[in-house]
Every structure is written in structure tokens, then in C-alpha cells.
Chain A
């Protein structure tokens, strides 16, 4: 989709971007990250020709963009930057409809699109359409910025720290919404950020830059597990184990061979399960929800004609299967639990996460061993 070939940009004596090669595939979410001044913004601006490279070339859909009209090119590429980019003298509707207006869409279509986009980014169209940027909070303006970039449904989006100026809570909320949005719209995105957590959250691939060069361009997992050099390792930070957990979904890592018992099963039935080698037993209610677990010692001390309900330890925490392992760990720490149940969307237990399982995952030497199991 986008290909950078030996792209260099020199400002006087400063090599802002130095021999960069990148190939961004359709639908890919590529994050550019690196210390301040490393050339992220410059790299991005060369893609919509706000800056022209000093050497090398950039191809979009196979066509060299230096031969294309920059105005036409830019109208086909969504561009979102920090909130500063909204035009203060135009209403929110006019800001969002900026490119549609340039492309002379009919009025009615423009209006429909504005309403649609505002709803898409979680703002009530009737309330916000006729307001001005200065009447909005930082978070709301940021949403408008994203909506504006999506206005003509461009296949490519360039985003330069679009959530940079937000407080941490709003930021995280916007990030989560943005992930959902991207699942719907499936754009090819080049995203610049300073924030490693943000990068890991969004990226299909992360390109780490320093002094104008791409040091490593890899999947978040590879960046965390196999940093190319000390610079990447330092940049990722010492909490990379935790970061790694945030990359893995609970459902990918959980122990799935669990057995379930009902409270009115007999102890004999429970023993039978253990004899067959089952070690992960969850007690579930009639409604299907996990309600607790049983200990083997309790089981052995109890006569066989009694019921499971009598020895059930009625405390088990659950985590949804689409959460990350970091979320699972948080639940475990909060409840001081050695293991927790994983529930699907119907709250039925579908697996378990145990502390030993977590330890095993972070120490896995090989990347894909998880999937190979």
C-alpha cells in the first residue's frame, strides 16, 4: 500500500530521516515511535507530501507520489494531528465536512456524513454540530479531529500523536474506542506516538526510530521478546514483561481443559473426575456461572454420598476471555487468588488462568510456543 524506498530528508546539515525503507501493507496499523526529534513526524509528512524527500522515493499503491498532484493526494489521505488542527472559526460540522466541501459533495450528503461520523466517534450530532472548537473539551476536539480525518473514507490515515494532549484517563478511553473504530473501518494507518503502551496497544507493527533511522520494525511481540539492540531494549523499558502480558489475550493463553461440577453432584462423581486425571475443576451454578472450586484434601475427607456444594470454596474471580493477561493479573492480585476462571460472553467458564501459567508464558523462550500447544 505504502512503500518507502531509501527515503532521506535533510534539513540543512540535519538528517531528519536517513535511508528509511518501509513497506506498509493494506489494512496494516503501523506505529512510528522513538525519542523526540528522531524523525517520526518528518517521515509521516513525506507520505502526504507536506514535505518532499531529499532522496529516495515513496510509492502509494505502486505509484510514485512525487509525480502526483499533492492536493489530490492529500484529499485521499486522512490526516489527524493534535487538537490544534481544528479551524476555530468554523463549526464542528464545517470542520468535519472540510474535505467533502473541497470535493464539492452535495450539501445533503455532507450533512449526512457529518452526522454519521459524529455518532461514530461517540458525539451526539445534534448537540455538537453547530458548536465551535473552542466550546469543546480537549477530548471532544480530539474526537472531532479523528472524525474529520475519516470524512471522505480515505483508505490511508496518517495520525501524528492524535491523543497526545489528553489526560491519561481520557486518553485510554479514546484509545479503546479507536481500536473498536479501526475494527470497523479497517484503514491502513501510520500512527506516530511517544508512548510505548499506546504503540503496543494499536500496532500490527512497530517501527522504532532513532536519529532518522529505523532501528527495528517488528510486531509488538517481537519488539518485546527480541529487541534488536540495547537501544530498543532501553526504549521499551524495564517493565517489558508486564507489557508483554498486555499483548496477549486471555483466551489465547488460558488453560482450556477444565471440567465442571454442579453443586448437587456427589462427592463420588467429583472423585471420579480426579481419578480420570482432571486437575482443573470449576463448580458452576445451574445458570452456568462459575461459583467456586474444590480442594482435593476436602474431597478426600468427605464421604462419597455427600454433595459437592458442601465442600465448594465459594470464591472464584473471573475475567472475560477477550481481556488481556495484564487484566487477568490485575484481577488475581486484587483478589489475592492463585487462579481465576475465564468466562465467555455468556459468563460461562471456558478456561482458567493460574499464576504458574502466567509465569510459564512470560518465560517462554520461543515466540509461538503458545499457539503450538
Chain B
């Protein structure tokens, strides 16, 4: 495997870079749209049901189906892959943020309101800080899913470590297959580790103490 990487260094690096770029853009997009959307939805009562429904429905559709559905609209290449990854990643981020905000203990909010905090202050100073751990748990799921889903981008011609797996299967090339599979797994573990650090760093101190 190492042998393979060394001999095909240039090609491997291209695929790795594509894989990382694809994943990162999808996550970046999903986070920057998912979190504000969740916050908005939590503030507008009539959005609650549709959001929950969409979230649950979305989570049940297999990833490959999402990808397949994107191709007719976006053609082949980077765009449909990004769209599929984005759709997959936004769900856990959106849902976790939304339910996190909604599930902050009612007594805490009532107390904050009783103290004279405005609804905005309650959102930003109480609900969101208390939701951070749940939010990041959602991000974690999203990232790990996106890293593995990015391998399917090979089918859409998006280019990723998935190419190695696909080629490996078609050419019955164990070495190539293993390289693609193992490096994707390693990437997922690395991403998980980084998010773990992020979680440590972002979680408010007072919430790290087990109650």
C-alpha cells in the first residue's frame, strides 16, 4: 500500500486533495447554512413541524440515492458530488442544532426570562451556549458521513479517494483498492479526532462537569 502511494504519489495527492476539498466545502456549506437555518426555525413556531419532518425524511434516504438524484440536475463532476454531500451533511447539523435549542430546559429559559433577559439575549446567551455540545455532535456525524460519502463521488466523476476503490474493483487491483479504502478510513478518523478537539475547545466550561 505504501508502495502504491510512493509510486503513484502525484496521482494519490490529487485524489486526496479532491477528497478533502469536496468534504470541507460540503461541511462548510452545510454548517453555514444549517446552523442559521436551525436557529431561525427554532424561533418561528410554524417552521417547527416542517423542519422536523424534512429532517427525519432526509435521514432515511440512502446516500447513493441522493447522489443519483443529483446527477440528472447537475450533470457529472464536482457539482453533483458537492450537492449530495451537502444534503447529507446538513441534516445532522440542522437537526441537532434545532432540537438542541428546543430542548434547553424550560425552567432555565423561564428563569432567564423572569430575570429580564430579552428573547434575543435568551437565544444567544442561554440557548445557543447550552446547545454547543449537541451541535458539535451533529457536526461530528456530518463530517464522518461526508468523508465516507465522498468516495461515492467517483461514480459521479467528482474525483476522490473513491476513484482508487472503484478502479481497484474494476481492475481487480488489491493494492489500489486497499489504498483507497484505508486512506479514506484514516481520513475519517483524523476528522473525527479534530472535531473532538473542537468540541473540547468550544464546549462551555460549566457544561463539562457531569451533573
Task: Give A23-53 interface residues, CB cut-off 8 Å to B.
Answer: 45, 48, 50
Q: Say yes or no: B117 contacts A50, CB within 8 Å.
A: no
Task: Give B176-211 interface residues, CB cut-off 8 Å to A.
Answer: 204-207, 209-211
Which residue of the partner chain B has the closest CB to A89? B204
- Complex Cα gap A89–B211 (Å): 12
- Complex Cα gap A91–B204 (Å): 10
- Complex Cα gap A99–B206 (Å): 19
Q: Which of B107, B116, B129, B204 contacts A74 (CB 8 A)?
A: B116
Q: Say yes or no: B115 contacts A74, CB within 8 Å.
A: yes
Counting CB contacts under 8 A, is A337 at the interface?
A: no
Q: Say yes or no: B118 contacts A82, CB within 8 Å.
A: no
Q: Say yes or no: B114 contacts A98, CB within 8 Å.
A: no
By a CB distance below 8 angstroms, the chain B residues around A228 are none
By a CB distance below 8 angstroms, the chain B residues around A132 are 205-206, 209
- Complex Cα gap A91–B112 (Å): 15
By a CB distance below 8 angstroms, the chain A residues around B129 are 89
Counting CB contacts under 8 A, is B57 at the interface?
A: no
Q: Say yes or no: A133 contacts B117, CB within 8 Å.
A: no
- Complex Cα gap A86–B126 (Å): 11
- Complex Cα gap A98–B114 (Å): 11
By a CB distance below 8 angstroms, the chain B residues around A75 are 115-116
Counting CB contacts under 8 A, is A63 at the interface?
A: no
Which residue of the partner chain A has the closest CB to B128? A89
Q: Say yes or no: B113 contacts A91, CB within 8 Å.
A: no
A162 to chain B, nearest CB (A): 11
Which residue of the partner chain B has the closest CB to A70? B116
- Knowing A91-B206, A102-B121, A134-B210, say if A50 contacts B116 (CB, 8 Å): no
By a CB distance below 8 angstroms, the chain A residues around B107 are 81-82, 84-85
Q: Which of A50, A88, A91 contacts B110 (CB 8 A)?
A: A50
- Complex Cα gap A132–B208 (Å): 10
Q: Say yes or no: A87 contacts B126, CB within 8 Å.
A: yes
Counting CB contacts under 8 A, is A242 at the interface?
A: no
Q: Say yes or no: A48 contacts B204, CB within 8 Å.
A: no
- Complex Cα gap A134–B130 (Å): 14
Counting CB contacts under 8 A, is B111 at the interface?
A: yes
Q: Say yes or no: B114 contacts A135, CB within 8 Å.
A: no
- Complex Cα gap A99–B118 (Å): 11
Counting CB contacts under 8 A, is B54 at the interface?
A: no
Q: Say yes or no: B130 contacts A89, CB within 8 Å.
A: yes
- Complex Cα gap A86–B116 (Å): 14
By a CB distance below 8 angstroms, the chain A residues around B111 are 79, 81, 84-87
By a CB distance below 8 angstroms, the chain A residues around B33 are none
Q: Say yes or no: B209 contacts A50, CB within 8 Å.
A: no
- Knowing A71-B118, A81-B107, say if A87 contacts B112 (CB, 8 Å): yes
By a CB distance below 8 angstroms, the chain A residues around B209 are 132, 134-135
Please tell me the size bucket of the interface on B.
20 to 34
Q: Say yes or no: B108 contacts A85, CB within 8 Å.
A: yes
Which residue of the partner chain B has the closest CB to A103? B116
Task: Give B113-151 interface residues, CB cut-off 8 Å to A.
Answer: 113-118, 121, 126, 129-130
Q: Say yes or no: B113 contacts A50, CB within 8 Å.
A: yes
By a CB distance below 8 angstroms, the chain A residues around B113 are 50, 74
Q: Say yes or no: B205 contacts A71, CB within 8 Å.
A: no
A7 to chain B, nearest CB (A): 18
Q: Say yes or no: A102 contacts B117, CB within 8 Å.
A: yes
By a CB distance below 8 angstroms, the chain A residues around B108 are 84-88
- Knowing A74-B115, A79-B115, say if A89 contacts B207 (CB, 8 Å): yes
Q: Say yes or no: B121 contacts A81, CB within 8 Å.
A: no
Q: Say yes or no: A81 contacts B116, CB within 8 Å.
A: no
Counting CB contacts under 8 A, is A90 at the interface?
A: yes
Q: Say yes or no: A134 contacts B211, CB within 8 Å.
A: yes
Counting CB contacts under 8 A, is B105 at the interface?
A: yes
Counting CB contacts under 8 A, is A184 at the interface?
A: no
Which residue of the partner chain A has the closest CB to B206? A132
By a CB distance below 8 angstroms, the chain B residues around A74 are 113-116
Contact with A along B36-52 (1 / 0, CB 8 A): 00000000000000000
A82, A90, A158 — which one has the most chain B CB atoms within 10 A of its CB?
A: A90
- Complex Cα gap A82–B112 (Å): 13
- Complex Cα gap A90–B130 (Å): 10
Q: Say yes or no: A79 contacts B114, CB within 8 Å.
A: yes
By a CB distance below 8 angstroms, the chain B residues around A133 are 206
Q: Say yes or no: A99 contacts B115, CB within 8 Å.
A: yes
Task: Give B73-129 interface residues, CB cut-off 8 Å to A.
Answer: 105, 107-108, 110-118, 121, 126, 129
By a CB distance below 8 angstroms, the chain B residues around A89 are 129-130, 204-207
Counting CB contacts under 8 A, is A127 at the interface?
A: no
Counting CB contacts under 8 A, is A72 at the interface?
A: yes
By a CB distance below 8 angstroms, the chain A residues around B126 are 87
A50, A85, A87 — which one has the most chain B CB atoms within 10 A of its CB?
A: A87
Contact with B along A131-167 (1 / 0, CB 8 A): 0111100000000000010000000001000000000
Q: Apart from A81-B110, A99-B115, what are 4 other A-B pairs with CB-CB below 8 Å? A: A73-B116, A87-B126, A98-B112, A134-B210
Instruction: In the A-B complex, list the 6 residue pairs whose CB atoms are closest, starting with the nearest.
Output: A85-B111, A75-B116, A132-B206, A74-B116, A89-B204, A79-B114
Using a CB–CB cutoff of 8 Å, the interface residues on chain B facing chain A are 105, 107-108, 110-118, 121, 126, 129-130, 204-207, 209-211
A-B residue pairs in contact (CB < 8 Å), sample of 10: A74-B114, A75-B115, A75-B116, A81-B107, A85-B108, A85-B110, A87-B126, A89-B204, A99-B115, A99-B116
